[in-house]
Structure 1
Amino acid sequence: MTDTITRLTAADLVGPAGEALLALNNAHAEELSWLEPARLAHLVSEAFVARRIGVADALLLTFDQAADYDSPNFLWFRERYPAFVYVDRVVVTDGARGRGLARRLYDDLFVAARLAGHERIVCEVNSDPPNPASEAFHAALGFVAVGTATIHGGKKTVTYLERTLAT
């Protein structure tokens, strides 16, 4: 098992590695949203930063404001900010929790965003159904609430978060 962060590409989505990444995402569909293989491939192709650790120990997918993406959460930020990097999903497999993998993925993202001239990282966290672990994690990273929304026909409420990057 390696904790090396690697760039996620379309080639990684073929075969057992792709199946493992899809399974990791879909095991956490309540927090992230369910993906089919073609949708995951599209997201990876549109990503500003797409990273994984191990074969499928951890996954990070992010988009900048120019991405072809129809998520209501992404669109909420696009309506309000001219430039941003949106964290669409970050997930760590249960067996790899507690090793700091999500924090390492975010640190890698912060570097990439700064190098590209971005000043703002945004995301959302479920508030209903609640996701207190994600809330605490993002607060520890310096994210602050900038809004809320009820989505998916009232089935979910999210809190929108922002972290500005020091230049």
Structure 2
Amino acid sequence: MSIVIRDVREHELDSILALNNAAGPTILPLDAARIRRFHDTAEYFRVAERDGTLAGFLVGLGSDAEHDSSNFHWFRAHCERFFYIDRIVVASRRRGGGVGRAFYADAQSYAELRYPLLTCEVFLEHDADPVRLFHGSFGFREIGQHVMPESGIRASMMAKDMCSHAWVRDTYGEELPDEPWLLRPRVAVAESSAA
């Protein structure tokens, strides 16, 4: 019954694409090329397993990433340095079972050592109140709204201060200690498979 959060594996990309495109109107559809690009370039691309099956995924990008999302560019115009959750998808049969909270805890643990702000958006159409409440209960606040020009969808632009970031930056600068748990997720997988 435990939830395991781990780095995505290349052979899972088709399953992740299907999961994304079955998520409904609160998640924009993707194609295989976009999933491949996330796999090849995203700073954070992790999946959740529950009972040995894929339960969801989360894609995150740092503020310096090359990313064409208008929501990402909105944050870039309004925030100096941030970690952006591009998308989180939880399989419908796993919603309400803690997978989303496990993802956010893992993403926050990653982000707070590297960025002062954790950001995401919530679409305001399609009964967004449960999703906004989830984010609010996790410490996010709305810092603005944005209408996506490519779809006309209005999004609540949300942010959460990473309260540990200032201490980490002041203590360690840009060089975190050489500890396995501090490695960027994708780097850790590459190094462990090379050994």
TM-score by length of 1: 0.88
SS at match of 1:137: helix
Displacement over 2 Å in runs of 4+: 152-155
Instruction: From 47, 53, 57, give the equivalent of 1:52.
Output: 47
1:25 aligns with 2:23: no
Q: CA deviation at 1:29?
A: 5.0
Contact 2:13 2:36 (8 Å CA) reproduced: no
Q: Structure 2: which 5+ runs fail to align?
A: 165-195
8 Å CA contact 2:120–2:158 kept in 1: the answer is yes
Aligned residues: 161
C-alpha distance 69-29 of structure 1, shift in aligned 2 (>3 A): farther
- The correspondence for 1:148, drawn from 138, 145, 148, is 145
Please state whether the residue corresponding to 2:124 is helix, strand or coil. Answer: strand
1:114 Cα offset (Å): 1.9
Question: Does 2:39 match 1:3?
Answer: no
1:164 paired to 2:138: no
Match of 1:138 among 122, 135, 139: 135
Q: TM-score, normalised by structure 2?
A: 0.76
What is the CA-CA distance between 1:124 and the residue it aligns to? 0.6
Match of 1:124 in 2: 121
- Alignment RMSD: 1.7
Distance of 2:92 and 2:13 partners within structure 1 = 18
Match of 1:85 in 2: 83
Flag the 1:45–1:129 CA change in 2: closer, same or farther, 3 A: same
Larger radius of gyration: 2
